[in-house]
Amino acid sequence: MMLHTALKIELESDTAVQALMGSRFYLGVIPQKIRDGDVRVPCVVFTRSNVARQVTYCGTGGLVATNCTLDVYAATYTAARDLAGRVRRALVDFNGALGGGLDVRHIAIGNEMDLLDVDPGLHRVMLAFNVWHVEES
């Protein structure tokens, strides 16, 4: 299972997160074109920024450290902070089968930052995570 898939499943199965995010988990960007009546926010956007593989004397191991960002977008600052807090609490110090399938050894948060995307008029909270997991299959 790939990390973004496992994160999506995990966050959608967390009732506190799901109550605000629903199924609005996107890869890279919020879609510009969606059906009339669909709501795009609040949402979570996944971006993978770096993958470090563990190298030993015997070769490259199967454990990797993936740095990824979950950007939380909402129409108001309060809504963005609320969803970001729920996402953070659902993931920090997680270990086990993420999303029921990806073997995760530890999730840590490296950074959290409030931002404003002026052009679309959305509030954004950036959550940068470090995820130690077994290589994706």
- CATH number of the domain at 55, please: 3.30.2000.10
Using CA atoms, how far apart are residues 10 and 70, in angstroms rounded to an integer?
Answer: 13
Using CA atoms, how far apart are residues 100 and 16, in angstroms rounded to an integer?
Answer: 18
Which amino acid is present at 94?
F
pLDDT at 114 exceeding the cut of 80: yes
Do residues 75 and 41 make contact, with C-beta atoms less than 8 angstroms apart? Answer: yes
Write out the residue range of the structural domain in which residue 84 sits.
3-31+38-134
| pLDDT interval class at 39 (50, 70, 90) | low
Which of 4, 11, 5, 9 lies closest to 89, judged by CA? 11
Which of 80, 75, 77 lies closest to 120, judged by CA? 75
Average pLDDT score over residue span 31-39: 63
pLDDT at 13 exceeding the cut of 80: yes
pLDDT at 34 exceeding the cut of 70: no
The pTM of the full predicted model, rounded to 2 decimals, is 0.89
Which amino acid is present at 125?
V
Do residues 61 and 53 make contact, with C-beta atoms less than 8 angstroms apart? Answer: yes
Cβ burial 69-86 (10 Å sphere, 16+ → b, else e): bbbbbbeeeebbbbbbbb
- Quote the number of domains for the chain: 1
